[in-house]
Amino acid sequence: MKLSTREDIEAPLAFVFDSFADTEGWERAALRRGAEVTRTDRLQGFGPGMAWNVGFLYRGKMRRISVKLAAVDKPNALTFQGFGKMVDAEVKVDFVEMSARRTRVTLGVEVKPRNLAARVFLQSMKLARGKIDRKFEARVGALCNEIEERYRAQARA
């Protein structure tokens, strides 16, 4: 199953890329929402090979997934891969500079089933495709608005 959306952000390319590449910020955000996040690599800086084990409650069950930063093309793209018991996922974020203060972000997610139960689950999600697309676009839009607000606050300071 593939999901994709595109948003324009009123902020420079470097600021937007750095916001999406702030892995420590993403870790803190996940912890605030109740997830368990453990860094599993030994890398000192930001780069491909960074990895985490993430546990979270979904539909009353604890789910676990391993996430790794698969590729970095600064400042054009980030690719993350996730491996779980039932599904594998890839998240690709592309950045395009529209002008000096405007950046287009294209975020795509592809989820592939690993077993029959996951295949049935993803098939049921496809039946609700419109609702899932709207929720996905709304969440990505909210994230992009947060990045815009942070940039405006920084520019004012």
Work out the average pLDDT over 135-153.
96
Between helix 129-156 and helix 116-127 the angle, nearest 10°, is 80
Domains defined for the chain, CATH in brackets? 2-156 (3.30.530.20)
| Amino acid, res. 29 | A
pLDDT number for residue 59: 83
Coil, helix or strand at residue 155: helix
Beta bridge partners of 87: 113
Torsion from C-alpha of 118, 26, 40, 47, nearest 10 degrees: 110
How much is the mean pLDDT over the chain? 95
Residue 13 CA neighbour count, 13 Å, CB half:
14
Residues 40 and 50: their CA atoms lie apart, in Å, by 8
Q: Which amino acid is at 114?
A: R
pLDDT digits (tens, 9 = 90+) for 23-40: 999 999 999 999 999 999
pLDDT digit string, tens, across residues 91-130: 999 999 999 999 999 999 999 999 999 999 899 989 999 9
